[in-house]
Amino acid sequence: MRRFNAAGVAAVAAATALSVTPAQAHGGPRALGLDNCTATACHFDVAPGTYDVRVRLGGEAAASTSVSGETRRALLPETATAAGKPVTRSFTVNVRTPEGEPTGPDGTPGLDLALGGSAPALADIRVTPAVPRTRQIFLVGDSTVCDQPGDPYTGWGQQLPQYLRKGVSVANYADSGESTVTYLENPALFPTVQPLIRQRDLVLIQLAHNDKTTDEPTYRANLETLVAGVRARGGDPVLVTPVVRRWFNADGTLDNDTALLVNGLGVNHPAVIRSVAAAEDVPLIDLTAKTKALVESLGVEGSKAIYLYNEKRDNTHTSVHGATVYAGLVRDELLAQHLVPERQVRVG
């Protein structure tokens, strides 16, 4: 967590002197503004739910500010502001317990935001409950998707919120180590997610990395069960093929079972997902194809920064940089397939 520069501290002090209008938030009026912030972070004592956050960034000096929250979720990308020219940005955030992985620790009650960037400056902030029918994007997945609790590990779902604007939130229920079998069986996972799904909520499903011993009929049936479970609640399922593993052939391609998620039983997970998507008329985000093309274009050396090869000799899990790039690929598909309105997608 970074500290404000001098201009940022001054901006906070000046804005704090302004009156803060109390907002109604799950049980009573609270002043959900700068009174809830220090120079490095903000804490809002709110109940689980969905909240809109409006920030005014900048100050007398040039600044550059990003916002993260809860368990290392990227909520607003680093935003540069010229001296004396603050800007306003808004986003919607999901607050829940546990706040990160569903089988992990509860985390801190309420909403926690951290201020980062090369020269952070926060001039104002307001947190208000989102309207009751605010659309959510639920994420069903494994460790390559989840809100990873500790640096340097980062799931692409952890970086996705920064690409979305006010009016849609990301509820990341991905969990490390889960397969299609365990995600359906564990009460903290799909049995918890399914009742929360409402009409028109999107549910992105990426499960394959841990289905190493799942035979093809079972894997297919589990995907069909997840799709049917989402639709039973009025939600819109989206099947996502898994991100590739960084395992190169001698010729510089990733055309091998390890890289392309073909398990020891010969089950080609991406191929089965594509087949189920076609049979069930479900939108498909072919992240396997997209990440394969990207990793191959970067080559053996260039692709190391996408994964945790340099830090952990890990060719499966992504770095912050890699997760951000992969989340951008998901964002692009949400936009291209008209799954999220253009007005709710942050492209710059």
Residue 165's pLDDT band, with cuts at 50, 70 and 90, is very high
Which whole-number Å values give the CA distances from 275 to 137, 279, 282, 283, 284, in the listed order? 23, 6, 10, 11, 10
So what's the pLDDT on residue 31? 52
Of 242, 233, 111, give the one whose Cα is nearest residue 174. Answer: 242
More confident of the two residues 38 and 27: 38
Beta-bridge partner residues of 79: 65
Protein fold of 10-129: Jelly Rolls (2.60.120)
Q: How many CB atoms lie within 10 A of CB 313?
A: 9
194-250 pLDDT per residue, tens: 999 999 999 999 999 999 999 999 999 999 999 999 999 999 999 999 999 999 999
Residue 329's pLDDT band, with cuts at 50, 70 and 90, is very high
d(CA 209, CA 199): 29
Average confidence score pLDDT of the chain: 92
- Asked if 193 and 137 touch (Cβ cutoff 8 Å), the reply is no
Beta-bridge partner residues of 84: none
Protein fold of 135-344: Rossmann fold (3.40.50)
- Asked if 257 and 269 touch (Cβ cutoff 8 Å), the reply is no
Q: What is the mean pLDDT of residues 93-100?
A: 97
d(CA 276, CA 227): 9
So what's the pLDDT on residue 16? 31
270-320 pLDDT per residue, tens: 999 999 999 999 999 999 999 999 999 999 999 999 999 999 999 999 999
| pLDDT above 70 coverage of the chain, percent | 91
d(CA 147, CA 157): 7
- Any idea what the Cα angle at residue 238 is, between residues 112 and 148, rounded to 5°? 30
For the chain, give every domain's residue range: 10-129, 135-344
